[in-house]
Amino acid sequence: MGFEQALAGKDAAELTPLVTPDVHFEDPLTDPLTGPDALVAHVSRLWTAFPDARVERTGPLMRDGRHVADPVKLVATHRGELEGLPASGRFVVVHAVLVCELSEDEQRLWRVRAFYDAYGAGVQLGVLPERGSMGGKALLMLRGFGLRARN
């Protein structure tokens, strides 16, 4: 079983044998995590919020020695609370690339970094305004973008 299937499998017993005891995990919405227990706790929140989640490969697995890149997408419906955000019932598709480094024996994952568009996921969940919309422009203005002195 691959890591992406184990992520969507909702069973820690399937996930933990695929990673090293000191696995490192990062994604746009978390501080770096270390160890299988921290990883399982993190993905358990995903399993609770998106009980129908599935992870599908969107391109070929790319490997160079101990380094692997896995293009995937998460397809799910937001049906449970997530970090204080109540279930929205919204369907989301989040494309990601998992950039991984294997253990020295190349049997397990030692470092995993997930790259995805967190803003786009927020738009799909209805918590952030669409890019280019008035709300999106207002948000950028509040963050200090787009303010220029006029001549």
Tell me the average pLDDT across 26-36.
94
State the residue range of the domain holding 95.
3-116
Of 130 and 64, more confident: 64
State residue 146's pLDDT score: 62
**Confidence class for position 151, pLDDT limits 50, 70, 90:** low
Residue 71 has pLDDT above 80, yes or no: yes
Residue 131 counted as domain residue: no
Ramachandran class of 61: left when φ > 0, alpha when ψ lies in -120 to 50, beta otherwise: beta
The string of pLDDT tens digits covering residues 10-27 is 788 888 999 999 999 999
Residue 64 counted as domain residue: yes
User: Rounded to an integer, what is the distance from CA 4 to the centroid of its chain?
Assistant: 11
CATH code, domain with 64: 3.10.450.50
Would you say 87 and 78 are in contact if contact means Cβ atoms under 8 Å apart? yes
Question: Among 100, 82, 94, 85, which Cα is nearest to 43's?
Answer: 82
Which residues are CB-contacts of 19 (< 8 A; sequence separation ≥ 6)? 3, 36, 39, 108, 109, 110, 112
Stated pTM of the model: 0.82
Residue 148 has pLDDT above 60, yes or no: no
Residue 146 counted as domain residue: no
State residue 10's pLDDT score: 79
Strands 109-116 and 19-26: parallel
The number of distinct structural domains making up the chain is: 1
Residue 141 counted as domain residue: no
Residue 143 counted as domain residue: no
Residue 149 has pLDDT above 60, yes or no: no
Tell me the average pLDDT across 32-45.
94
Residue 35 counted as domain residue: yes
State residue 79's pLDDT score: 96
